[in-house]
Amino acid sequence: MMFDLNHELKARVVKVLDKQVIEIENFYKNPDEVRKFALEAKKYTRDENEDLLKSVVGRRVCEDNLELTKLSSVFEQLCNHPEWHIDFDKEHHDYYWSGMRFLVNVTNNQEILNDGRDIIMHVDGPRNKWACVIYLNLLLECEGGTGFYSYVPEFDKIKLEYMSDMKYNKAVLYDANMIHGAIMEKNMFKHCDRLVQVMFM
């Protein structure tokens, strides 16, 4: 099945200040199928669905797929990791997973240039407790990653604390209230789209 996971997932916990990020390589058993689904699916633009894209740079895939719900139990275990310091709420978790859609952010170089920002940062909370990205670019297409930031009030600036490098079929789970953003520099993704599955829970 398309969203089957590898049988032996190995999670790496990265401490970022007083929070953490969990990285899992070789996440899907059949990542090529997931990537193919993303490539062939309709990509919505901001003009077509402004609410769907919000702060997204580029386009977004949004597909209903009941197979995704099979991931719920794995993420329930991951979200119960003791070092999160986030109260796990089973009712909240089940509610979000009951309506989980296949979302993929799709961005090319021209869209990065049109956006114009040097750093793209936001938080996915407070309604969401956790968020996850899964990189769907092949090895030779991978550039950048996801940056996690802190705010330095005495200098009124944002500091990059950790960058999770983009790698094919790598999942990155993080606290939805962490300041983060895609690392997309103005010379990246000239020959392919950046493909990143996103989940909010």
Torsions phi, psi for 109 (to 5 deg) = -60, -40
Q: What is the mean pLDDT of residues 186-192?
A: 97
Closest CA to 133 of 174, 99, 82: 174
Write the DSSP symbol of residue 122. Answer: B
Question: Any idea which architecture 11-200 has in CATH?
Answer: Sandwich (2.60)
Write the pLDDT tens digit of every residue in 162-186: 999 999 999 999 999 999 999 999 9
Domain boundaries, given as residue ranges, for the chain: 11-200
pLDDT of residue 112: 96
Containing H/E element for 75? helix 72-79
pLDDT of residue 54: 83
The answer to whether residues 80 and 174 touch, using CB atoms and an 8 Å cutoff, is: no
pLDDT of residue 120: 86
Entry pTM: 0.96
| CA 145/CA 170 separation, integer angstroms | 10
Least confident of 38-42, 119-123, 189-193: 119-123
Write the pLDDT tens digit of every residue in 72-82: 999 999 999 99
- Residues in contact with 108: Cβ distance below 8 Å, sequence separation at least 6, in sequence order: 58, 189, 190, 192, 193, 194
